[in-house]
């Protein structure tokens, strides 16, 4: 079994002995109950991983000795999920799933038919929940590179991202082309646009296709907005060296 992974500051990973404190230290010592002699890995979430052994454990604090370090290259191609905001807890669930599968960037999208709306103070709290969900899922998945969760995007920002991508896919259950039949580039950014439960509007669809997006369906069934992104990421990564 692979050892648990915890997040640490890049400066801390430069040392041979590391003290893990704060939220990560509490989780490691109080929840995971790691003890001296057990293995644990630390990452800065930007490709560096320190393989460590626990040498001391106290409530809220671990001391670890670094056994070895490695630097993992940034994943290529990069996969971005533009996620129309789902309602309720399905939002964090969607972020958790796409992170587990391998998304590198998550873009919250204020699509016209989204039931949930981010305004004012609520927007900052919702964004923090998305980022916390991504970090937790990245640790659970033992990822050396943690995904970025961007600020809330409008249609103009989404179309700009699709237009600049090596491939932009607009998920559409009525599309003529299956996602599995789309030629997947092996470099650059792949953008997957996931609409809300009510679908994207004709205006949004036209803008995304004009920017270069390709409509594609996932399969014969209709998936929830909170799970469609993860399935699409899996289909795409299965056609790349990242999953081989």
Q: Domain containing 41 — which CATH number?
A: 2.40.240.20
| Mean pLDDT, residues 127-147 | 97
Total of domains in the chain: 2
- State the residue range of the domain holding 27: 5-71
Q: pLDDT at position 119, please?
A: 86
| One-letter-per-residue 3-state SS of the chain | CCCCEEECCCCHHHCCEEEECHHHHHHHHHHCCCCCCCEEEEECCECEEEEEEEEEEECCEEEEEEEEEEECCCCCCEEEEEEECCCCCHHHHHHHHHHHHCCCEEEEECCCCCCCCCCHHHHHHHHHHHHHHHHHHHHHCCCCECCEECCCECHHHHHHHHHHCCEEEEECCCCCCEHHHCCCCCCCEEEEEECCCCCCCHHHHHHHHHCCCEEEECCCCCCCHHHHHHHHHHHHHCCCHHHC
Query: Does residue 57 sit in the same domain as residue 85?
Result: no
Whether residue 217 has pLDDT greater than 90: yes
83 vs 222, which has greater pLDDT? 83
Query: Does residue 138 sit in the same domain as residue 123?
Result: yes
Query: Does residue 235 sit in the same domain as residue 116?
Result: yes
Domain boundary among 71, 104, 123: 71
Query: Does residue 113 sit in the same domain as residue 190?
Result: yes
Whether residue 184 has pLDDT greater than 90: yes
Query: Does residue 148 sit in the same domain as residue 33?
Result: no
Domain boundary among 49, 71, 93: 71
| Mean pLDDT, residues 192-214 | 97
- pTM for the full predicted model: 0.94
Domain boundary among 25, 55, 71: 71
Output the domain CATH number for residue 208: 3.40.1280.10
């Amino acid at each position: 079994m692979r050892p648990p992974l915890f997040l640490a500051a890049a400066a801390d990973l430069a040392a041979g002995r590391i003290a893990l404190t704060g939220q990560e230290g509490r989780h490691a010592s109080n929840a995971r109950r790691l003890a001296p002699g057990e293995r644990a890995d630390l990452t800065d979430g930007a490709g560096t991983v320190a393989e460590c052994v626990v040498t001391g454990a106290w409530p809220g604090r671990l001391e670890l000795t670094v056994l070895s370090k490695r630097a993992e290259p940034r994943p290529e191609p990069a996969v971005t999920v533009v996620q129309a905001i789902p309602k309720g807890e399905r939002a964090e669930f969607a972020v958790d799933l796409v992170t587990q599968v391998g998304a590198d960037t998550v873009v919250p999208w204020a699509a016209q038919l989204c039931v949930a709306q981010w305004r004012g103070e609520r927007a900052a709290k919702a964004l923090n929940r998305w980022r916390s969900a991504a970090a937790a899922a990245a640790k659970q998945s033992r990822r050396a590179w943690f995904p970025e969760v961007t600020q809330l995007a409008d249609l103009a920002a989404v179309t700009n991202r699709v237009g600049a991508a090596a491939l932009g896919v607009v998920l559409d259950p009525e599309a003529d082309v299956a996602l599995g039949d789309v030629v997947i580039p092996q470099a650059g950014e792949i953008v997957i646009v996931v609409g809300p439960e009510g679908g994207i509007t004709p205006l949004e669809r036209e803008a995304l296709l004009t920017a270069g997006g390709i409509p594609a369906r996932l399969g014969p069934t209709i998936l929830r907005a909170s799970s469609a992104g993860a399935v699409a990421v899996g289909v795409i990564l299965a056609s790349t060296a990242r999953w081989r």
